[in-house]
Amino acid sequence: MQKTITGFSKLTKSEKIDWIVNTYFSNNKSAKTTLEQYWNSNKKLQQLHDEFIENTITNYYLPFGVAPNFLINGKTYTIPMAIEESSVVAAASKAAKFWLDRGGFKAEVISTTKIGQVHFTYDGNTEDLINFFKNTKSKFFKDTKSITKSMENRGGGILDIDLKDKTKDLADYYQLHATFETMDAMGANFINSCLEQFATTLKTEADHSLSGNVDVIMSILSNYVPNCLVRAEVSCKVEDLTENSKTSAEAFAEKFIQAVKIAEIEPYRAVTHNKGIMNGIDAVVLATGNDFRAVEAGVHAYASRNGTYSSLTHAEVKDGIFKFWMEIPLALGTVGGLTSLHPLVKLALEMLGKPSAKELMQIVAVAGLAQNFAALRSLTTTGIQEGHMKMHLMNILNQFEATSQEKEQLVSHFKTHTVTHSSVVDAINNLRNN
Ligand code: MEV
């Protein structure tokens, strides 16, 4: 069977499915049903999802959970999280509750500047280009007026445009490096439209007044936003850190800080440490209809800004006060894009009290910090397998279609026995045979 096709995008949805099923699933009778069982019976809602992307054949569900009890800057939130990984929502909720009793989280937006660049080559004299840019700079602002008008009315717009000489790194390479304020919008369309207009203005004006040739390579925003920065923090007296008498508060703080320090200097650990932070961040970013790939790329670049990949969080004890904090770049929006289209995104934002982009930056950063706190807390005390094994136990019990009575008995049994696949299977069999 031929596995390539011309004009696939022109086929109807059911023709697309038929082609997929005939081409790849001739021996799998349930493939079509598997795809179709995820269609929504509400035709309008299904069409909305079909039109988010191209060649849609079905929906791919992610669980949408919530983590309550987050106290941030004195306000309480229930945070929506879209994620497939077990334990993440539970960990966030646990950390939220822990800090609720200790003054909650503090968060602060440090800056909100976004960046876009027109990358171009120029084969003439650099001084001429610098003078040309000085003389034409105002034209870049003038030519983008129709694009920037409504953003300016909302308090945003183009902040500045610089000419950057990159010829030391790459022959003939220059940039127009522009900074933007996009208020409550993530701003990708706005920034890219401005940049494409800059490119047109650059080419037209340069062709008139420069002897060398300007060739625009591309115009695109940057997902590296080190000046769109938010800080999240928790602190309390060291003695208030423990909930049980097994570990002393001082020993817990010391071990916790050591774990953070390891992630600060050891990239292998830092990647996993930061991955845990992104468990919280991505889940809220997704639930609120934002671009988690952009956030991921920008955050990891920021984690390497000093030349080595390092921890995003930091911790210390000073004058008897334990402090744990993080600063991360987050370009988020609460208007535009999916925010007004996807019913669950709308609901998530409503649940958060229709936050501004700045408030959402704070909530997302807190979710990341909480996640890291929960991970380090269990890693440096019980280890993470204890929680995971509880989940593992439930998964096996569900596989064996255990009744609620059987579940109750077995969960109680495994409070004092080690969970492995075979020990659970044996326990189910014993219970059933008796
Ligand atoms: C698992 O998704 C995340 C952790 O590995 C994070 C960490 O190790 O800090 C638990």
Indicate the domain borders of the chain.
Answer: 8-50, 65-106+233-382, 114-221, 388-433
Tokens 């703080």 locate to: 253
C-alpha of residue 427 to centroid of ligand 1, in Å: 30
pLDDT for res 389: 78
272 C-alpha vs ligand 1 centroid, how far in Å?
6
State yes or no: pLDDT of 264 exceeds 80: yes
Query: Which of the 8 DSSP states describes residue 352?
Result: T
Residue nearest to atom 3 of ligand 1 (CA): 276
- Residue whose token pair is 């807190």: 366
Residue 242 pLDDT? 85
Does the CB atom of residue 271 touch ligand 1 within 6 A?
no
> 10 Å Cβ neighbour count for 220?
15
User: Does the Cβ of 255 fall within 6 Å of ligand 1?
Assistant: no
Mutate to test the pocket of ligand 1, among 260, 279, 391 (most ligand atoms within 8 A of CB): 279
Q: Where are the beta strands (DSSP E) in 244-312?
A: none
pLDDT confidence of residue 154:
96
Task: Please tell me the predicted confidence (pLDDT) of residue 434.
Answer: 82
Q: Is the CB of 368 under 6 A from ligand 1?
A: no
Mean pLDDT rounded to a whole number for the chain: 96
**Taking Cα atoms as reference points, which of 104, 118, 92 lies closest to residue 281?**
92
Q: What is the mean pLDDT of residues 369-397?
A: 88
For ligand 1, atom 1, the nearest C-alpha belongs to 276
Q: What is the Å distance from ligand 1's center to 271 Cα?
A: 9
Looking at the domain 114-221, which fold is it? Alpha-Beta Plaits (3.30.70)
> What are 77-124's pLDDT values in tens digits?
999 999 999 999 999 999 999 999 999 999 999 999 999 999 999 999
User: Which residues touch 320 (CB under 8 Å, ≥6 apart)?
Assistant: 237, 238, 239
CB atoms within 10 A of CB 112: 22
Q: Is the pLDDT of residue 162 over 90?
A: yes
Nearest protein CA to atom 10 of ligand 1, as residue? 375
User: In sequence order, what are the residues at sequence separation of 6 or more whose Cβ sits closer than 8 angstroms to the Cβ of residue 268?
Assistant: none
Select from 302, 308, 298, 309 the least CA-distant residue to 326. 302
The atom number, within ligand 1, closest to the CA of 279 reads: 2
83 close to ligand 1 (CB < 6 Angstrom): no
Ligand 1 centroid to residue 268 C-alpha, Å? 12
Mutate which of 379, 382, 389 to test ligand 1's pocket (most atoms within 8 Å of Cβ)? Answer: 379
pLDDT value, residue 390: 79
- pLDDT at position 245 over 90: no
What digits encode the pLDDT tens for the residues 295-349?
A: 999 999 999 999 999 999 999 999 999 999 999 999 999 999 899 899 999 999 9
Q: Which helix (H) or strand (E) holds 159?
A: strand 157-165
Is the Cβ–Cβ distance between 114 and 308 less than 8 Å? no
Residues 356-380: pLDDT tens digits? 999 999 999 999 999 999 999 999 9
Average pLDDT over residues 368-393: 88
313 lines ligand 1 (CB under 6 A): no
Amino acid at 10: K
- What topology does CATH give the domain 65-106+233-382? 3.90.770
The pLDDT assigned to 129 comes to: 98
Question: pLDDT digits over 34-47, tens only?
Answer: 999 999 999 999 99
Distance set, CA 152 to CA 39, 225, 252 (Å): 41, 21, 50
Does residue 375 line the site of ligand 1, with CB under 6 A?
A: yes
pTM above 0.75, yes or no: yes
> Which residues are known catalytic residues?
85, 275, 291, 388
Distance of CA 384 from the midpoint of ligand 1 (Å)? 8
Our answer on whether the CB atom of 323 is closer than 6 Å to any ligand 1 atom is no
Tokens representing residue 53 in the block: 């992307």
Residue 279 near ligand 1, beta carbon < 6 Å: yes
Residue 383 has a pLDDT of 84
Ligand 1: which residue has its CA nearest to atom 2?
276
What's the pLDDT band for 1 if we cut at 50, 70, 90?
A: low
Determine the distance separating the centroid of ligand 1 and the alpha carbon of 276, expressed in angstroms.
Answer: 4
Can you tell me the distance from the alpha carbon of 366 to that of 231, in angstroms, rounded to the nearest whole number? 8
- Report the percentage of the chain scoring pLDDT > 90: 92
